[in-house]
Structure 1
Amino acid sequence: MQARKSACAGPLDGIRVLDLTSVVLGPLATQSLADLGADVIKIEGPEGDLMRANGVSRNAGMSSIYLALNRNKRSVVLDLKTEAGAAALRQLITGADVFIHNMRVAAIERLGFGYDAVAALNPRIVYCVATGFGQDGPHRDKPAFDDIIQAACGLVSLGAAAGSRPEYVPSLIADKTTGIALANAVLAALLHRERHGEGQAVEVPMLETMASFVMAEHLAGLTFDPAAGPAGYARLLQGGRRPARTADGWICALPYTDRHWKAFFRAVDREDLAEKYNIASRAERNTHIRALYQHFGDITPDRTTAQWMALFEILDIPATPIYTPDELPSHPHLNAVGLFQSTVHPTEGPLREMRPTARFSATPLALRRHAPLLGEHTGEVLLEAGLAPCDIDAIAGTRNN
């Protein structure tokens, strides 16, 4: 498979990343770096990334989730339990800028690729590990998955606090949020190296990252010592904001300011409610916010979604129809900005892919490479690293046995 021809290099052009991550968290982080122009070399064992089998597939090993998380990368298969595979990785390390993995620390130490061993080969390397739990805490060796972290960080309990049973968020939010944090950490360490010439070890733990994420608004009374009240942002846990039913569906609308509320009640001939709740006063409005949104939800079934959208456009009230994932490719804004792009994968055929979302004026981003087949670039990358063809053949033979 050939790389897509593109003049768009991205701001990380020239940075080489050895990506030993798998599943979702790590591949999302390294795809972010790849989208920014880094040469990301995905190091896989002979069995491949587990996520190659999850999701919808046309062909084995090339699932929808794998395709969504591994564009702009090259795949190299190395069996790190063999001396030939380990030696090849050591050779790659000498020319890399970043080494990133999400294995348990004890496991990668057993393979001989802990930070000290890698830094001995390349002192300038940025060595980044995504862990489930920080390595200076008692849970450092525990396994971690998205569900576990959602529950441990307080996220799952928020639904119960609002009066429903605890539920997982139906998105891999812990993996993806931590993946973004992981990419940011790599970028910061690369900037430090650029300024000061030194590599370093970086750890991004899932639990700490997600606890900080959740508690940004929910620390509440626990912010103060002694506590001024319980944790939890009351507006989210007790407020009345929720999707509103219309005559033919659902809508999300947010009258927020006194101007919004006055305009809304005037438009529906209920100015008496504006007077009743004294909405000109923010304090009074906040006191009665649940009642206000209850009235809002009682009124919205009187018109269709399209009618409400037209009215809210006139009133400048933030609003949107509720879109399903199936509807997003036809979302008028996403369609206009070309988020979803039609491509042709050499083995998977026509695909719908999402382009990188950031916009750079001087170093624009692009879909440069299709998500690779397992081991597709093994020979190419190892030749670039200076391995002899006979050694590469030996590694390939080991992989195929």
Structure 2
Amino acid sequence: MFHCPVSVIVCACCPVDRSCTYPDCWCGQELQNTLRQVQKLLSAHETSFQQNLRSVRKKLSLLQNNTVKHSKLNTGKKSTGCPSPEPLANGRILGRVFKVGHEIHFLCSPGFQLMGLETRRCLDIQTWSGTQPSCKFRDGTEYNNASVAASASSSSFSSQPPTTTRPSRCIEFLGSTHCTCEEGYSISRQDTKLCTDLDECELYRRTQPGRLCLNTCVNTAGSFFCQCPSGYNLARDSRSCHDIDECVRGAHNCSREQVCVNTHGGHRCVEVGCPRFRNATYIKTSALRCDRNPCLQEDKTCLHAPLSVNFHFMSVVSNISTPTVLFRLSAARVLGDTLRFGLMGNRGVQHFTIKRSGRQTGQLVLVNSVQGPATFQADIEMSELEKKVLLGRYVTKVTLFVSPYNF
């Protein structure tokens, strides 16, 4: 509210010559006239203030109504962003956020080569930058060579990163210029007004090997992504690799007569057949077990043949730490007074040993670290004796598949 300061000095005036003790003092009549004028002025200001207040209230009410209407119109709309990108035939798209400023990356399946941009950005106009790339079938020789090069190391890196540049963001402060770049870019050494792509794969290869990606690091414009070899899926942390169990998923080509064995990065189709021992015949009682047919009482050669032969298949990664217990063998019941465990022949003796872990239990132990891909076999014999007389033999054939990767 507007205030008008008024300073009035009231004094006693002489009735004859209207002279006062003070030169600035007013008499009663003059004071009343002045007060009336001040009252009119204040009343006018108060009326103007009330009108202005009503006008402001009307504008606020109108603005509030428009805001409510705008909110109702936008209730059913999605947040600003780009439409879902078209699926990439013979490849896949990395990136699930389609908002303005975000990027998606394109990756082709093994045997195919990316033709076009490997990265597209969601622009302010809610459309994707550039054009949709495609995946072209590679020449077989070129693909095989690339696969061999990729599997030669547990952590390989892109050797030809994109040389994408972008303008930097510069501000002037106190007579000097300061420039910054987006995440994934660094100031160019030649021109501070330009930002060059930061090769994260090369950076981490020199500082922390294997910490960025467990297997393959692929550099992209302003970013990177990790890639796993065939037979693996990228984990949720976007850097680790999880083995795909083709046997459980049914993604194998094994016949009904074969046994599907999952390995790290693949699978094996194994045919299990009963062994041959002199004067002894066997029958397959399950997919992984063969039992000996009854022997004639006087046929000692047949009686010394194993009563049963079991098959066991395992898969381990390369360079596994040793010693490592791979397999435990236990007798369900003991008829004699002695139970012995050992390896048959010379197969696998340089990599395995048998360790006794209980009266009825033995362990197959890997004693030497092995580099894959490789396959090793060990035949474990369990013999039951009564007063040093053989009551029966049981054989377990263990096959070990070693992966070419250490994960």
**TM-score greater than 0.5 by the shorter chain:** no
Q: Which has the higher contact order (CA 8 A, sep 6+)?
A: 1
Q: TM-score, normalised by structure 2?
A: 0.18
Structure number with higher helix proportion = 1
- Structure holding more strand per residue: 2
